[in-house]
Amino acid sequence: MSEARFQGKVVQITGAASGFGALAARRFAAEGARLALSDRDGEKLAALAGALDAEVLHAELDVSDAAAQAAHARAIAARFGRLDVAVNNAGVGHHMAPLHKLPPEEFDRMMAVNARGVFLGMQQQITLMLAGAGGAILNVASAAGIVGAGHLSAYAASKHAVVGLTRAAADEVAKKGIRVNAICPSFAATPLFDEMADAVATRHGASRDEASTRIAARVPMGRVARPEEVVQAMLWICDPANSFMTGQAIAIDGGLSAI
């Protein structure tokens, strides 16, 4: 497989300052892409942008803000004149709690960032791609978006919404040269996983390492994913050669959704 499969392509990534987003930015840059990066953490994002060997447009951005999403899309159009790939990666989680005890504000926060953020992003991305030569959109959902996830009800609801948005959009634009897919990772060694492990540790009076082991034991492969395993799949889904896949929610979960 060519190491320059994204040569000259314009790739937008939200939530790019850390985790999957930051690693994806590095991988796309290594394969020749020009990047439009955004994150709420502007300082960390600027540091990443400065370290990449690529042309980079970066912006501090709250994905739940419609005006901010529109402004970022205008900046992408002005800078690059096109958009080829979009990765809607920005997302948040909540503390573990049974549904009947979860504050309604947490549900609202999950839906605002995880679902509304993807919806607003796709509105702008589809518009840019329709004006150009089409493209590929990848929404980062979760295994919690295709299976039940007890004690993570609001997070799961938001990620199920991402899968629904993905499939609806894919149906709408399939004949217009735009592919829309979702990736559904389970537990992976990212900052979000550390937050979950800390929550489990608190709940069970354990250390983070003990909690991490407890979580990994739920996965048939007996471990959590390495971020590069998930990002490798992200690039494959967006690869121009992967031209007949759309409307799919691809689980990268060590077999978790198979049980």
Q: Are 125 and 138 in contact (CB under 8 A)?
A: no
3-state secondary structure of 251: strand
pLDDT tens, residue by residue, 181-206: 999 999 887 777 777 777 777 777 88
DSSP string computed for 210-221: HHHHHHHTTSTT
pLDDT tens, residue by residue, 77-109: 999 999 999 999 999 988 889 999 999 999 999
Q: Are 134 and 178 in contact (CB under 8 A)?
A: yes
Residue 227's Cβ-side half-sphere holds a number of Cα atoms within 13 Å equal to 16
Which domains are present in the chain?
10-186+228-251 (3.40.50.720), 188-224 (no CATH)
CA angle 235, 239, 245 (to 5 degrees): 105
Query: Measuring CA to CA, which residue among 35, 29, 33, 25 is closest to residue 9?
Result: 33
Q: Catalogue the active-site residues.
A: 155
DSSP symbol at 224: P
Q: Is the pLDDT score of 12 beyond 90? A: yes
**pLDDT (0 to 100) of residue 3:** 62
pLDDT tens, residue by residue, 163-184: 999 999 999 999 999 999 999 9
